Structure 1
Amino acid sequence: MADAVIPAPAPDEQARSDAALHDSVHGLRERDPLASAAVPFVPWQKWVGAVAVVVLVVALVAATTGTLIILTALCTVAYLVTLADRVLLLSRGLARDAIMTIPDDRARSVPDADLPRYTVLVPAYNEPEVIGDLIGAMDAIDYPADKLEVLLLLEADDEVTIDAAEAAGLGEVCTILRIPPAQPRTKPKACNYALHYATGEIITIFDAEDRPDPLQLRRVVAALADLDHDVACVQAKLAFHNGSQNMLAAWFTADYALWFNFLLPGLMRSDSPIPLGGTSNHIRADVLSEIGAWDPHNVTEDADLGVRIAARGYRTAVLDSTTLEEANPDPINWIRQRSRWYKGYLQTWLVHMRRPVALWRTLGTVGMFRFTTLLAGTPVIACLNMVFWLVTLSWILGQPALVAQVFPAYVYFPALVCLVLGNATILYSNLVAVRETENPRLWWACLTVPLYWLLMSVAAIKGTYQLFANPSYWEKTVHGLAS
């Protein structure tokens, strides 16, 4: 198969492909340069960052102890405020009406003639191991074949995956769309290219290892019919089919159970921007075109798109329909994946903070606060955790004089609250999540989750470093590791 000659496309088709490729890479940057992460930092952000570093260094040299006390106090306040808000989101997410629910009979009751045309985008690269299962999962979707378009987005030079897909048989609804090789080789670039060929009124994405609820598309159509017209996106829940494979998979599963079942619904009830998951987000095609589709230079294009939806005055709903994915069971592979997420969160925050006043007017004060704590706060706090753990360890082992000076009583006791009450609250939240999602066997993962936080901290430090060293580099996550 490697020696097969692929016929050259017709001139008009080649021109269409070239235009689609150019737009998929450069379209957002050309239409709205400030919305693109192609440039990681705009000039004023560089200047503000440089001045902040200089001021910090001067303060540390001139008044080391006082500066460290102030920094520690500020970090403690940020921890406590963020923790209180997460508890508030959890309490709202626990409400029975926090999430959209469409029963099976209601989903099936929509006549086929009334269903809109649907396009499913499935980007995959170098994943021959899972492509057969993927095609089977797409064939299992309960939606009329004449209104369902499934585009397998495969790089034109990824012959091993193309061969595997053709050998598996594409079924009734799947079509291979070859993506011309071009930098950046990212999932959002492939999806942008596919939009030039998509015909659906609603667009969704599934990853190569996904097993979506067969009724999910019908549920989305029914949900959109019930919701206000300003709802542009419906995010389904994500869970894992191999959550008990090992300790890391169990931690990951408990993490997702809390996020998709309670925190995201809590965000929906508060009209705060929702960082979308990388899969199973169903978006109206007209709105997707209006807001500029995906940013090919942002390595968490899903979170960025969720914020852009909110920044344009639209809303996202969370649907009680689950797509099963593969929990990453390998620590190195997991750190690669999570560091990309953290880097992308920081990218997204930096991009949208280029116009902070306009964003604040759209999101409001609470929405702006949650946008900052989720997208900037999550990776920054994960990085700071490592610092504070090392400080705590040094205190336990030797109680150096500098640590004692930095923690006077008015700093020490709030920090102690963060350590004891904060950790206990998060442990309890995870226990609630696995109980409510009927995963009681994962209680042991909840009780050992501080070890998971250590991995998160390593990933956050790596992702923050890469934000400066290689901002648009997409670290590929290896799939097919589930036992």
Structure 2
Amino acid sequence: MFALIWYIPTTIIVLSFVYGIPSLYSVIRNLKEQVWIKIENNKNPNNPETSLVAILLPFYREDRESIRRTFQSIARQKYPKDNLDIFIILENNDIETYNIVKESIGILTDVGFKTTIFINKGSRRGKAHAMNNLLKNISGRYDVVIVLDAGDTIYDDRYIYKVSKLIKNGYSIVGTKVYRISNSVIGKLSYIDTMLWYNVGLPGLTKLIRVPLVSGEGLALSMEFLNMIGGFPEVLAEDAYLSIKAYQYGRRIALLDSIVYEGAPSTLSSYVKQRVRWYRGSLQCLKDVVIKYRKVLRCRTKIALVMAYLQPIALMAPFISLLIVSLSLFVEIPSITITIAKIELVSISLAPIYIIINGYRDKVVVLAPLNWIFQGIIALIALIPIRIPWLRTSSRSFIDVSSIHQITLRQ
């Protein structure tokens, strides 16, 4: 009976190997070149067929620098002013953020962008709920909706033109690369994670499940699709949930080869809360695929989505492997379990080689395997049904846009 217990960690480690296969295939076949859609910058966005776009900025308890950085990023966009409206969504009790917005809004209005402050009435029920309250008032007026968080910096000044073009060409959702960066150790490790995800993990997973996962920052959607699904899913990870809705309605998701930069968590506590929110959000998606959508989705679709949302479980493998190897010094553990645990630890130890080959020379890269073991602990915490007060990333680093290229790997 006791020996059967080891089947659980063995299965989790094997699951991590299953995820490793698409990533390895992604590197060998250079899948990032196939998955990420490139749109040349030599097109003129000022044409009569340009879409009507609404940018949604859901802010809550934000700092001045993050708000100004997002406003400045939008102000640099080359898109017809008459075809773009900006909606800043605030909570009715968030007076400090309101005052910062009023103080900084000239960054947008001085260059001719139409900007509206929308106050979400009632008690706060999350980002998606606040955006849905706004959509009730504007759903018939726009073709494209773009969502940006405070602190997001769009590097491509024709980003809005590119996402609107993809949606006009038949895509319902457009995602982009979101690199979380800063000069702190946490920020550099976050950057390594996001670089590997967008250039290796996501391309491999996309080829496997056919419908890619998208991030909530720099997310663009067709208004027609949002109306069809009843607005943004009011769940913990509304961005991850959108892949379920795309599958359900047979809609296409595009991955645009463009970059949004976001300040990485600046404190360990903020970093842990961010990851717990991500992992719990994925597990909620997993639960709904298996239970809520079991009669709606085809069997192959359900298997593909289960594979996508099982990632938090697979992320536990490095920590579990270290635990098994350590325990093997004191207790008897099946040899097969010890063997695959050692293989797991060797594989994550070698993974930084890919990062170094691709141009990242910072010494912090040697800490990446330890970070992945730590994330395994966070994934285990995410499984525990305890309430963690407000899982939003409450503390972010400031980014120096002028130095971005100094830390970005070859794309």
Q: TM (normalized to structure 2)?
A: 0.86
Shift of 1:424: 4.5
Secondary structure of the residue aligned to 2:179 is strand
* Residue of structure 1 equivalent to 2:159: 216
Identity percentage of aligned residues: 19
Counterparts of 1:462 and 1:411, CA distance in 2? 23
Q: Deviations over 1:143-183 (max 9, x none)?
A: 11111011111112111111111112341332211111324
Q: Does 1:301 align with 2:238?
A: yes
Q: Deviations over 1:28-71 (max 9, x none)?
A: xxxxxxxxxxxxxxxxxxxxxxxxxxxxxxxxxxx112x12433
Letter in 1 for 2:11: L
Aligned with residue 176 of structure 1, among 114, 117, 132: 117
Aligned with residue 441 of structure 1, among 361, 382, 385: 361
* Larger radius of gyration between Structure 1 and Structure 2: 1
Counterparts of 1:89 and 1:291, CA distance in 2? 32
* Residue of structure 2 equivalent to 1:478: 394
* Residue of structure 1 equivalent to 2:149: 207
Q: Does 1:273 align with 2:211?
A: yes
Matches for 1:59-98 after TM superposition, within 5 Å: 63-65=1-3, 67-94=4-31, 96-98=33-35
Structure 2 residue ranges without an equivalent (≥5): 400-411
Q: Deviations over 1:66-111 (max 9, x none)?
A: x1243344334323222223323444553533311011112xx244
Letter in 1 for 2:162: R
Q: Deviations over 1:119-150 (max 9, x none)?
A: 11111111142222322222222111111011
Give the conservation status (yes or no) of the 8 Å contact 1:340–1:474: no
Counterparts of 1:427 and 1:189, CA distance in 2? 40
* Residue of structure 1 equivalent to 2:195: 257
Shift of 1:295: 2.4
Matches for 1:412-451 after TM superposition, within 5 Å: 412-420=338-346, 422-424=347-349, 426-431=351-356, 435=358, 440-442=360-362, 444-451=363-370
Counterparts of 1:327 and 1:161, CA distance in 2? 20
Counterparts of 2:120 and 2:246, CA distance in 1? 26
Shift of 1:271: 5.3
Counterparts of 1:332 and 1:95, CA distance in 2? 32
Secondary structure of the residue aligned to 2:137 is coil
Counterparts of 1:191 and 1:223, CA distance in 2? 22
Q: Does 1:238 align with 2:178?
A: yes
Report the structure, 1 or 2, having the larger helix content: 1
Q: 1:457 to 1:183 in 2, by over 3 A?
A: same
Structure 1 residue ranges without an equivalent (≥5): 1-62
Q: 1:478 to 1:414 in 2, by over 3 A?
A: closer
Q: 1:74 to 1:269 in 2, by over 3 A?
A: closer
Aligned with residue 95 of structure 2, among 153, 156, 159: 159
Shift of 1:264: 2.8
Give the conservation status (yes or no) of the 8 Å contact 1:118–1:148: yes
Shift of 1:341: 0.8
Give the conservation status (yes or no) of the 8 Å contact 2:13–2:344: yes
Q: Does 1:123 align with 2:58?
A: yes
Q: 1:173 to 1:318 in 2, by over 3 A?
A: same
Q: 1:77 to 1:259 in 2, by over 3 A?
A: closer
Counterparts of 2:373 and 2:199, CA distance in 1? 24
Shift of 1:265: 3.4
Q: TM (normalized to structure 1)?
A: 0.74
Secondary structure of the residue aligned to 2:55 is strand
Q: Does 1:469 align with 2:400?
A: no
Secondary structure of the residue aligned to 2:195 is helix
Q: State how many pairs are aligned.
A: 390
